[in-house]
């Protein structure tokens, strides 16, 4: 159908064995104090690929990785990661934001925002924590707010029973009378 070939493979090609690629050694961890730059989406995040252009509002309860173009409003309950190819012009509200691409717009983050090396953000930030790496670009204002208190799971309170003082009745002794006790 599509450039089908009805050729019989030559004996040299048929005798060629395919050998599996040897396992690659694991990369060493980055030096202390150096973070890895985001290059690909986390495996559990929804993704907007580098060839995608989206205009509109996005509301999500899961992580989102943006490596394409986005214009509008973003509101997430989890982490938003702007990849190195990501270009976002939006009002952003999320729990955590990582910027490796470019963002234009105000950002409100309940926990922490990180602008990585080669990342840029033009707009105002309202956050509980911020990290701006060397080589990152930021233009705007920063409003540091207290992080929301961590809610501890409520446990049933066991109160000790109320103890009332014991009532002791003393024997009635009449005055002026002598009691005789026989032994």
Task: Give the pLDDT confidence of 61-98 residue by residue, as tens digits.
Answer: 999 999 999 999 999 999 999 999 999 999 999 999 99
What's the pLDDT score for residue 57?
Answer: 94
154 pLDDT exceeds 90? no
Q: Count Cβ atoms within 10 A of the Cβ of residue 65 and give its class: 0-12 exposed, 13-18 middle, 19 or more buried.
A: buried
Chain length of the chain: 183
Spatial distance between the Cα atoms of 76 and 95, rounded to a whole number of angstroms: 7
Spatial distance between the Cα atoms of 5 and 44, rounded to a whole number of angstroms: 41
Q: What counts of helices (H) and strands (E) characterise the chain?
A: 1, 13
Spatial distance between the Cα atoms of 28 and 36, rounded to a whole number of angstroms: 12
Predicted model pTM: 0.59
What are the C-alpha distances in Å from 81 to residues 9, 28, 77?
A: 48, 24, 13
What's the pLDDT score for residue 24?
Answer: 47
Across 125-146, average pLDDT: 94
What's the pLDDT score for residue 162?
Answer: 72
41 pLDDT exceeds 70? no
Q: What is the pLDDT of residues 89-131, one digit of tens each?
A: 999 999 999 999 999 999 999 999 999 999 999 999 999 999 9
What's the pLDDT score for residue 136?
Answer: 96
């Amino acid at each position: 159908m599509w450039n089908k070939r009805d050729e019989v493979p030559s004996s040299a090609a048929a005798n060629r064995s395919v050998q599996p690629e040897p396992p690659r050694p694991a990369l060493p961890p980055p030096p202390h104090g150096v973070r890895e730059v985001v290059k690909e989406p986390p495996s559990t995040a929804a993704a907007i690929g580098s060839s995608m252009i989206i205009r509109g509002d996005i509301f999500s309860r899961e992580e989102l990785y943006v490596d394409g173009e986005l214009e509008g409003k973003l509101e997430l309950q989890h982490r938003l990661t702007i990849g190195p190819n990501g270009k976002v012009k939006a009002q952003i509200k999320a729990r955590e934001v990582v910027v490796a691409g470019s963002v234009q717009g105000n950002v409100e983050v309940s926990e922490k925002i990180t602008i990585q090396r080669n990342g840029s953000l033009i707009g105002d930030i309202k956050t509980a924590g911020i990290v701006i790496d060397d080589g990152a670009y930021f233009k705007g204002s920063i409003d540091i707010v207290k992080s929301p208190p961590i809610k501890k799971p409520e446990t049933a309170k066991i109160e000790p029973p109320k103890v009332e003082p014991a009532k002791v009745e003393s024997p009635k002794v009449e005055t002026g009378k002598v009691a005789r006790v026989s032994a």
